[in-house]
Amino acid sequence: MASCRRTLCACGCAALLCALLLALALSLALRHALRCSDGTFAHGAVSADSGTCSKIGRDILQQGGSAVDGAIAALLCTSLLNPQSMGLGGGSIFTVREKSGKVTVINSRETVPKVFKADLLKDCPVDFQMGSGSRWIGVPGEIRGYERAHSLFGRLPWATLFQPIIKLAREGIALPTVLNRYLLLLRKLGETSPLRKLFSNENGTLLKEGDMLRFKQLADTLEVIANQGPDAFYRGKIARDLIQDVQDAGGTLSLEDLESYKVKVMDAWPVTLGDYDMYVPPPPAGGAVLSFVLNIMKGYDLDPSSVVGEQKTLMYHRYVEACKFANSRKRSIRDPAFSSDTEAFRMTKDELADSVRGKISSNKTHNSSHYSAGPSWDHMGTTHVSVLAEDGTAVSATSTINHIFGSKVYSPKTGVILNNQLLDFCGLADRILAGEQPPSSMAPVILHSATRQKTLVIGASGGSMITTGVASAIMNHLWFGKDLKEAISAPVVFVDSKNALKFEPDFDQDVVEALKALGHRVEKTKYFYNVVNAVTARGGCVGAVSDARKLGEAAGY
């Protein structure tokens, strides 16, 4: 009997201890959540182009997924919500930060097919504005990129990442506002165009905002890839169907191109920005161009007073001058497997920035020869996802099919919209080679400050406007004291490839006039494609902002 009482007492004590520990854990979790209740999150967050895709990425994190898992799911979702920007027919660049602080870049950008039009670059001036045509299609690397990222840093089963997107593709979505803006471009295509048919009703009329849009063929493709793995896209029936559709459209893509595609994995390039270490993707990505602009600007010891009164004009004058010098160096951004990346690497160093800063006059601008500018074109498109997981790992991922709706070649058998990535060589290369990756403005970056115990995961879409969007947001947030939302939403000035200044609506008109007086050429444009998505962590709380320019909404928990 005594033994029994002792056993019951021990069991009761153990139960009481468990209850106390559980109560303590819940109390700590509640306190942490309350401490992060000011619009931030206690665990992790995802910032994508749409609320739907941010939430899908967040749900993956809540299931125990890694930051890479969340990023893949959010990008797959974006291929439905913003198919004009990215998809399985494109390529991506992932910048991944591990708990140890090591930062890795996974480059699955498209490559030049083995067979391509010999004098392709001569077509640039004619085709660039239209951006369509099967001859501009590069070998898509998107799914191979997901595969490598998942094999290195994934946690949940591969198929799990696809399930919510397959369901969404089959059930359909209400045609989003942003996608609706771009459907007008499809009116220029004939009614027999497979791409136009995808976004039309049974009567052949283009869908409008709010109409139900389903992706049956793409859902089938995603399901096969989910169940059979990435090889299904590059070697199986999907590959054969995709190549058949591309070749029927006049393209040169082959099964051999798909089968031989290889992802590149490399270390990120580190750049020091005061208390922060910024990690950028090497060429052919645009990390070096972003670094160059920020390195020039950090030499001016900027702070909140730099955007007040006359100092504001001076700061913006110096900034647009830095952008003009950056434009002249974009030809240094080439695939390092085919060209030296020495000059691009120099762009990340203080020595070059210091030298160029000395060429910036405080009271005037200069003609193009001062910057050694060459002929170029401005590019557009892309999407970006930023993810920060509970364990502190982070992903900054940018993906694209290049121009709006890519090449405008749609594969009816697979549901895939093909890229027009080879246009990115226009104005930046004199020749191209099979297997080469085109240069890019994509700059998915991660910043970390050990002293401030802060991490910033940031990137943008918008083609040539990516550098503008990311540089402006970083300066606003790190140096000018703006919170993340204000830093991203603030109007920007874009310096185009001809060194003309283009100002977003609501930009300070006093500054615009002052810059004109300094000799800057100002032009108007209807379209600004810069869209910045970012996640930040500090003091155990996570903040996330998706750019309102694309009606984005972040999600966390």
Catalytic residues: 382
CA neighbor of 496 nearest in space, from 459, 515, 522, 533: 522
Report whether 376 belongs to an annotated binding site: no
Handedness of CA 47, 50, 55, 61 (dihedral sign): negative
Report whether 166 belongs to an annotated binding site: no
Report whether 111 belongs to an annotated binding site: no
Query: Angle at CA 499, nearest 5°, toward 496 and 502?
Result: 50
Report whether 391 belongs to an annotated binding site: no
Residue 246 backbone dihedrals phi, psi, to 5 degrees: -65, -45
Angstrom distances, CA of residue 489 to CA of 235, 319, 470: 44, 18, 11
Report whether 138 belongs to an annotated binding site: no
Report whether 463 belongs to an annotated binding site: yes
**Chain Cα centroid distance, residue 190:** 31
Instruction: Give, for 237, the enclosing helix (H) or strand (E).
Output: helix 237-248
Instruction: Give, for 78, the enclosing helix (H) or strand (E).
Output: helix 67-81
By CB atoms closer than 10 A (0-12, 13-18, 19+), residue 194 is middle
By CB atoms closer than 10 A (0-12, 13-18, 19+), residue 87 is buried
> Distance between CA 333 and CA 444 in Å, rounded?
15
Report whether 172 belongs to an annotated binding site: no
CA neighbor of 397 nearest in space, from 385, 389, 387: 385
- Three-state DSSP at 176 gives coil
Angstrom distances, CA of residue 130 to CA of 73, 251, 317, 411, 423: 31, 17, 33, 19, 11
- Three-state DSSP at 467 gives helix
Residue 10: CB atoms within 10 Å:
10
Report whether 401 belongs to an annotated binding site: yes
> Is the bond into 284 cis (omega within 30 degrees of 0)?
yes
By CB atoms closer than 10 A (0-12, 13-18, 19+), residue 165 is buried
**Chain Cα centroid distance, residue 349:** 24
By CB atoms closer than 10 A (0-12, 13-18, 19+), residue 401 is buried
- List, as residue ranges, the binding site for L-glutamate: 109, 400-402, 424, 440-441, 463
From the annotation, which residues make up the binding site? 109, 400-402, 424, 440-441, 463
